[in-house]
Structure 1
């Protein structure tokens, strides 16, 4: 059997080869990783890391989870891909399972990623006959042109203008500003239940309920981007569950595949019927391998009681960090296992680098906050190891 040709070498050598072969969209990689197991990673130089970022909230079940490996391997050996002229059993089963998590009927459009799920939702909003979209300051919904149009950060947007228009941004969490912006020409309001890329910003209680009331009053769609918060990340299947509402559109990705690329745009109620044949398409979306991965993820979360673990371990993580009473820590915000350590100084880049040197993968989305989005299988012992090392990391960051 012919062996696959991969690359070996030290981290430094592989990083040099990376920069020579890949487009410079991400800058030089922080490490070259070669293996993962559970909540841990190993780099090309043999160093071990506790993964508290989960591939940016993707690796919901950690690395090399045996159930996911078995499901994907078995499916790939049976049927790997069919065009969208045909259906497959995993695709149907996953769609039905996702819809069972809601209280109203709906339909699913599968994609390969979160940004593509938002592109599908954007097109659905145009089928209302309206074009006006309300998004929020600090929002992040993806990098493709449609998703970028409803993403706030000027540095992401300005190089690619003009973007699809008729988008208005209002302050996040401000129900009065939202009410003032929505009118009878509004197609949709798009919201993250918690803003992840903006530093895990949590809106006031009742904000999503008010958004539902406002959109209903004006006949607009409520489009909730649950790409980072959904599929159990906050301790509920969806972050909006905590407010007891039903949106019209829900987009998911990241944790749904536990590392296998998949996304979904879920239409609920009348919104489920807005896309019809010829309106949209995808080559790889919902292929049997990605679909079986999603089905396996949902199965394991239920089987192993991981929603409860997300709550228990997330609370332990937040409380343990706050109990340090370190002068650099202003507090911890977020829910479940999507948390931010609020910093009193804008040194998050330094904290993240020192943490990596100490064997912990974390993230600095904004200068004054550290984001944590670990696998749902994280244990309290893992938390304790991180918290024990954290004071020295924080102190050195301001030295």
Structure 2
């Protein structure tokens, strides 16, 4: 009997080793890993540069406390603000912590408590971030939630307008809903979102926990839509597997997070900052963004072509290397079959297959993954001549 709380529906795979795009289980079986820790290892498993600098830092200093000056925090913060619309950073350990900080800052800076988020969003599992999440299944069983969160459908600007009143501190969105089905914000919605926040003096918080750090072929996904958020939250890809999160904010918010207003024991420790700095040096590069974009477009086109004749395929969508394949039937059997054949992919709800390859995946690896997915669907469900 396990001594763990059964909080995860664990797969039959026990990961033992990772190298780049590949994961190896306890029996030595090799998998093409298009999960990558759920959009965490953006540079693939055990990236040589990140591994090397973290090993070196292990022999120097692990932890000192934020009572001390930590130069690498300043260095990482500088890179993040230079590549975003933000002016300052707060470091923590996870996406949920980053979103907690964002919620606290928005409420303190505005003196208001109401925050609008979107249906099918996902922002974390602490009480505040669970309350911010627009999914009933995340709320069930925990009693009264943190008050003043309300939810509007993605891309429905009229529904959003109906929720705006004088008590709204912020609107908090993902421009691509990863956990919520790989649903992408429309440009027209983004344009009106900007107008509404400016008109009503509402803060705009963009959750980039899954979409940030190159995942969508830019530093941050909001940059595709011309948005200018007041607050940006990050985690996942920032440390390539080392736990680290960050909240970025514009200069006008700095006075509201002074000494004693917020904190984190482990946030921004030397090990985390060493990993983050190495990751950003590799990813934040215009040539690399172009390479990601080309590969992601190729993967999406290959999926559309190879899956076109399957009757259960409804749509292939996404942005950059955050791709969803929506099916008309449950996908659990498909995911089991892909694992049998050596490909790891994720669900994004009961009917959407989510693909999250490392940003430096090769064309050969992408082609092999597409063929495994197509073969798996063929074996699980019948095909037809229905095209996309």
TM-score, normalisation: structure 2 = 0.95
1:181 aligns with 2:186: no
Aligned to 1:223: 205
Aligned to 1:279: 261
Once residues 115 and 359 of structure 1 are traced to their aligned partners in structure 2, the CA distance between those partners, rounded to angstroms, is 31
1:140 aligns with 2:122: yes
Three-state SS of the structure 1 residue aligned to 2:140 is helix
1:15-54: CA deviation from partner (whole Å, max 9, x where unpaired): xxxx613221103443111000010010001110000111
Match among 335, 339, 346 for residue 356 of structure 1: 339
1:234 offset after TM fit, Å? 0.4
Aligned to 2:147: 165
Three-state SS of the structure 1 residue aligned to 2:115 is strand
Aligned to 1:337: 321
Once residues 79 and 164 of structure 2 are traced to their aligned partners in structure 1, the CA distance between those partners, rounded to angstroms, is 33
1:388 aligns with 2:367: no
CA separation of 1:304 and 1:167: change in aligned 2, threshold 3 A: closer
1:110-162: CA deviation from partner (whole Å, max 9, x where unpaired): 01000000000111112021001101110100001110110011121121121
Match among 109, 118, 121 for residue 90 of structure 2: 109
Aligned to 2:385: none
Q: Is the 8 A contact 1:67 1:296 kept in 2?
A: yes
Once residues 84 and 391 of structure 1 are traced to their aligned partners in structure 2, the CA distance between those partners, rounded to angstroms, is 50
Three-state SS of the structure 1 residue aligned to 2:184 is coil
Once residues 282 and 25 of structure 1 are traced to their aligned partners in structure 2, the CA distance between those partners, rounded to angstroms, is 25
1:120 aligns with 2:91: no
Q: Is the 8 A contact 1:206 1:243 kept in 2?
A: no
Aligned to 1:3: none
1:60 offset after TM fit, Å? 0.3
Once residues 87 and 396 of structure 1 are traced to their aligned partners in structure 2, the CA distance between those partners, rounded to angstroms, is 58
Q: Is the 8 A contact 2:100 2:128 kept in 1?
A: yes
1:220 offset after TM fit, Å? 1.2
Q: Is the 8 A contact 2:35 2:356 kept in 1?
A: yes
Once residues 150 and 156 of structure 2 are traced to their aligned partners in structure 1, the CA distance between those partners, rounded to angstroms, is 14
1:251 aligns with 2:225: no
Aligned to 2:386: none
1:388 offset after TM fit, Å? 2.0
Query: Which runs of structure 1 show a deviation greater than 6 angstroms over 4 or more consecutive aligned residues?
Result: none
Once residues 170 and 114 of structure 2 are traced to their aligned partners in structure 1, the CA distance between those partners, rounded to angstroms, is 7
CA separation of 1:303 and 1:202: change in aligned 2, threshold 3 A: closer
Structure 2 stretches of 5 or more lacking a match?
Answer: 383-388
1:179 offset after TM fit, Å? 2.0
Three-state SS of the structure 2 residue aligned to 1:160 is coil
Q: Is the 8 A contact 1:124 1:275 kept in 2?
A: yes
1:350 offset after TM fit, Å? 1.1
Once residues 159 and 64 of structure 2 are traced to their aligned partners in structure 1, the CA distance between those partners, rounded to angstroms, is 46
